[in-house]
Amino acid sequence: MTDSAFAYGLGIGTHNSKGEWLEVYFPQPLLKPSAALVQALDDSDNPSDNKSNNHSDNQSTLDSAALTTLQEALAAAGEAEQAALAGQLALSQRPVVAVVLREDAAPATVPEAYLKLHLLSHRLVKPHGTVLDGMFGVLPNVAWTSEGAIAVDELPARQLAARLRGDTLEVSCVDKFPKMTNYVVPTGVRIAHTARVRLGAYLGEGTTIMHEGFVNFNAGTEGPGMIEGRISAGVSVGAGSDLGGGCSTMGTLSGGGNVIISVGKECLLGANAGIGIPLGDRCTVEAGLYLTAGTKVLMLDAEGKVVETAKARDLAGKSDLLFRRNSTNGAVECLTNRSAIELNHELHAHN
């Protein structure tokens, strides 16, 4: 019997004219699949699989015959849902791939990378819950259009072909990451502008992303929460927190070094505020104030007197803090936040 694996997915995707993967859609990805499921896939592996530079030992491109064999093996293993999916994909005219990640390692191919992004958006793993090293080098830059994913170098010919038919090929963006909602729509969320949430975002139950909100891959919210600002790559936001319009969180790749920026529970980042340090629970950052790790902060006592001076990095992860600017001299001050915010339940209802 084959040992169990880290993750499994049966997906359908898009090739370029060279037969290289551009993207893959995994309808029912699994974390920690059963050993019986993995064995069923191993037993039905397609011997004519393409051994191109976009192949690894973790994936197999399956034709209709191999999918029918896999469907039978999955059914015999008691994996009814995955068997049904294999049966549906056996009728596909698009390329189908099975991916088994034997361990949680850096993705080596496009299908492996897309499976990991799906794990995040399906809430099977949380941000930083899977290894994504080297993903940018694996994923191709793709034109995301009204006709699906198109290789950038093949786009002009497709645009001309559309015009000759009397149509216009709509290009929504050119990027390595597609928008999440074309692949996954998590339950219990509101997303006002879907193009601003990338595949690989993690949105917890009760999250609202307003029009100016943005959520990168390997980042997201525990939920519930109101997001009108930017959640950069690698940033997690705790339950009950509110990110005001135009505010920003510094990603690990954006000057934060190895420090993982996060926002605790029941925090408030005011409009156009920003943080370059992790916040604990029930913290507030005044509108327009951007805290970097080196920001000089005056610590105030209960009477509002300065008791010491600190760098913002020294306050990283501490709870119940209010950061504000002195209206007279502009100095950044910090005092205990005794009025932790509570989200408006009616405003954040998702019924």
Is residue 225 a contact partner of residue 268, using CB atoms and an 8 Å limit? Answer: no
Angstrom distance (rounded) from CA 198 to CA 182: 10
Do the strands 201-203 and 214-215 form a parallel or antiparallel pair, or are they unpaired? unpaired
Do the strands 207-209 and 225-227 form a parallel or antiparallel pair, or are they unpaired? parallel
Neighbours of 245 (CB within 10 A): 16
Three-state secondary structure along the chain?
CCCCCCEEEEEEEEECCCCCEEEEECCCCEECCCHHHHHHHHHCCCCCCCCCCCCCCCEEEECHHHHHHHHHHHHHCCCHHHHHHHHHHCCCCCCEEEEEECCCCCCCCHHHHHHHHHHHHCCCCCCCCCCCCCHHHHCCCEEEECCEEEEHHHHHHHHHHHHHCCCCCCEEEEECCCEHHHCCCCCCCEECCHHHEECCEEECCCEEECCCCEECCCEEECCCEEECCEECCCCEECCCEEECCCCEECCCCCCCCCCCCEECCCCEECCCCEECCCCCCCCEECCCCEECCCCEEEEECCCCCEEEEEEHHHHCCCCCEEEEECCCCCCEEEEECCCCCCCCCCCCCCC
* Catalytic member of 23, 222, 228, 266: 228
Cα–chain-centroid distance for residue 345? 26
Is residue 241 a contact partner of residue 265, using CB atoms and an 8 Å limit? Answer: yes
Angstrom distance (rounded) from CA 52 to CA 321: 54
Does residue 333 have an active-site annotation? no
| Residues belonging to the active site | 228
